[in-house]
Chains A and B, each alone.
Chain A
Amino acid sequence: MSALEAPVPLAAPAETRDRDRWVLTGLLAAPALYIALMAVVPAFLMVQISLAHRDVGGLWSPGFELTQYRQLATPLFARVMGFSLLLAASGAAICVALAFPAAYFITRMRRRAQVAWLVFLLGSLSLSEVLIVFAFQVLLSTSGTLAGALTAVGLLEAGQSLYPNFAAVLTCLVYLLLPYVILFFYPALSQLDPEVEQAAATMGASRLATFAAVVVPMMRGQILTGVLLVIIFTFGSYLTPLVLGRPPQWTIAIHINNAAMAAGNVPLAAAYAVAVVAFMVALLALTRRLSRRREAAA
């Protein structure tokens, strides 16, 4: 008798269910413990340090004060957070606008072409971020290929480079995140029932109209999650703005590092970090609430 022909019991006996429950608990215990140790404990320590007293000689000493949180009310912090959000939102908009149609077209290809694209995208992820950022630096520098080409056609003055600036930071971040976002959209889009699009076609919709009026609205939840994913990644980006941007294009992550390493103010760095986490949690809560309200209205 083959495995397919094997009779399937309608309900597992009680002892099997108990054993399954234990196995499941065991399997969940390891990641739960890992998350507790690696996320919850550091978060707790971070809050503790942010409330501690700054000790110039020994980094920080135990205490409970809100001195560092008062510094969050400065224009500098507001400007840095504002810029980080602008960079994250721009990155998210560009990434999703490019990745969603790209993933859609990949899912509509023949199986073999789809596999080739997925292998290519996964392969591109194996490149280190450091390598990519410095490659961008070379590409955009005065002697770089791109700047050279633009100079040759007269679009750029000789001796000018294409970095450091906002565009360079944004372009590199989009390049880094694009494969992730395409791979994020791929499973949901490949499960989209092709008959839904065909139904729209039989009702007179062109391919573009079908994409805009059916595919995009149906994938609204995934698109929103994709946007949040890029915002979270970009908000915390460090190396790209450091190498390809000027100080005005530095993200909060660089300022956290500077506060801790250059200024030696670990409690301030911790307060910055707590503020970023709180901001992200608020953003997620807001998004969830908005999408729930839309679902309720539907």
Chain B
Amino acid sequence: MFGLELRDLTKTYGPQLAADHVSLAIPHGEFVCFLGPSGCGKTTVLRMIAGLETPSSGEILLNGRDITGQPANARQFGMVFQSLALFPHLSVGENVAFALKLRGWDARRRKARVEELLDLVRLPGLEKRAVSQLSGGQRQRVAIARALAQEPPVFLLDEPFSALDAKLREEMQSELRLLQQRLKITTILVTHDQREAMSMADSIVVMGEGRIQQHGSPVSIYKQPANRFVADFIGASNLLPVEVLDAHTVRYGATPLKVGATGLPAAGPATLAIRPEDILISPAAGGGCNEVSGIIKLVRDMGAYVEVRVDCEGRDILGVVQPRDWIGAAHGDLAHIRLPAERCRVLAG
């Protein structure tokens, strides 16, 4: 196939398993985000793809060709590091031209390519500037231009925006996405910031404990989390301990709740996951099924939405309501919570 493929990629450091049989196919030109908490193995997998770590087992294929044994300098995948790793002794232009000089490009060709790349990252005319004289965002752009200079088959980024302030980060995220769409280059970005992943990626690989927990489009990962880990890590989720009664019913405390499908054996413990925005809150019982009631513990009016925390049978349920739908209840009031069956997902464990 065309693109990048990982087959059963595993990496161990002594007894510690950093990446556990990671298998993944990334079509050419796709933007993929590896998302997960720190220590989940996402950077290890990225470094194996770059050739900076040797896999303990497994294969890496580029356009169907096995490149597992190739060192980083033979793969020449452009990479932006977390520290950016710009060469402090070289000017902006020299940094960008580094790979081109290694390839033996003459000065005139190098100059033209550097100009083109600096235009691309919106830093025209800064060739002579010392790296130390640049702002955080400008350094970021130089690192991106430098990694793209060699026209790499795969573009890798390891938490490149973590050191930037929120505003600049969002600006750089959309710039990078536009750039990637323009160049149609296979791109893998490692991040622990789910907002970053959701806003940029064609597909997201959620990683946890060295394994791929779920791979899919941002919306599918948000709407249909494959397991408790993903439901908990991506966005806010209400995770309620339930008991499976049959294929379409679970029991929360004493209340039976209808769900889309349990897919789990009866009488076993499970977790019911529902997003806060999928919950309906009303002051009076609706009389229908799938309702639990509780006492409002906290109301936070955030302007764009109202966040309500309700104590239901000793467990907090979080709801997010549009201001126009908000019932105006306050702390200590009784609230009825409806959990729409089609929005309830039942997860193992």
Residues of B within 8 Å of A193, CB to CB, are: 83, 85
**Judging by beta carbons under 8 Å apart, are A201 and B87 in contact?**
no
**Judging by beta carbons under 8 Å apart, are B87 and A206 in contact?**
no
Interface string of B258-296 (1 = CB under 8 A from A): 000000000000000000000000000000000000000
A201 vs B150: C-alpha distance when bound (angstroms): 12
Residues of A within 8 Å of B87, CB to CB, are: 196, 199-200, 214, 217-218
Residues of A within 8 Å of B74, CB to CB, are: 204
Whether A202 sits at the interface, judged by CB under 8 Å, is yes
**Judging by beta carbons under 8 Å apart, are A196 and B146 in contact?**
no
**Judging by beta carbons under 8 Å apart, are A202 and B88 in contact?**
no
Residues of A within 8 Å of B81, CB to CB, are: 195, 198-199
Interface size on A, residues (CB 8 A): 19
With A193-B85, A209-B102, A218-B89 as contacts: A199 and B130 at CB distance below 8 Å: no
**Judging by beta carbons under 8 Å apart, are B76 and A204 in contact?**
yes
B88: nearest residue on chain A (CB-CB)?
A218
Residues of A within 8 Å of B147, CB to CB, are: 202-203
With A195-B82, A195-B83 as contacts: A204 and B73 at CB distance below 8 Å: yes
Whether A79 sits at the interface, judged by CB under 8 Å, is no
Whether A298 sits at the interface, judged by CB under 8 Å, is yes
Contacting A at CB under 8 A, from B72-112, are 72-79, 81-83, 85-91, 98-99, 102-103
**Judging by beta carbons under 8 Å apart, are A203 and B85 in contact?**
no
Whether B71 sits at the interface, judged by CB under 8 Å, is yes
Task: Say which residue of B50, B89, B90, B103 sits within 8 Å of A202 (CB atoms).
Answer: B50
**Judging by beta carbons under 8 Å apart, are A201 and B52 in contact?**
yes
B158: nearest residue on chain A (CB-CB)?
A195
Q: State the main secondary structure of chain A at its contact with B.
A: helix
Residues of B within 8 Å of A202, CB to CB, are: 50-52, 72-73, 75-79, 147, 156
A213 vs B101: C-alpha distance when bound (angstroms): 11
Interface string of A188-228 (1 = CB under 8 A from B): 00000101101111111110010001100110100000000
Contacting A at CB under 8 A, from B45-89, are 50-52, 71-79, 81-83, 85-89
A201 vs B72: C-alpha distance when bound (angstroms): 6
B50: nearest residue on chain A (CB-CB)?
A202
Q: How far is the CB of A201 from chain B (nearest CB, A)?
A: 4
Q: How far is the CB of A17 from chain B (nearest CB, A)?
A: 31
Max chain B C-beta neighbours (<10 A), residue from A199, A201, A205, A218 = A199
Residues of A within 8 Å of B82, CB to CB, are: 195
A198 vs B72: C-alpha distance when bound (angstroms): 8
Contacting B at CB under 8 A, from A238-293, are none
A200: nearest residue on chain B (CB-CB)?
B98
A21 vs B77: C-alpha distance when bound (angstroms): 53
Q: How far is the CB of A241 from chain B (nearest CB, A)?
A: 37
B47: nearest residue on chain A (CB-CB)?
A198
**Judging by beta carbons under 8 Å apart, are B91 and A298 in contact?**
yes
A207: nearest residue on chain B (CB-CB)?
B73
Contacts A198-B52, A200-B98, A218-B89 known; 5 new A-B pairs at CB < 8 A: A195-B83, A204-B102, A204-B103, A217-B87, A218-B88
In the A-B complex, the 4 residue pairs with the smallest Cβ-Cβ separation, listed nearest first, are: A203-B99, A199-B85, A195-B85, A201-B72
Please, could you name 11 A-B residue pairs with CB atoms under 8 Å apart, sorted by A?
A193-B83, A198-B81, A198-B85, A200-B98, A201-B73, A202-B52, A203-B99, A205-B73, A213-B98, A214-B87, A217-B87
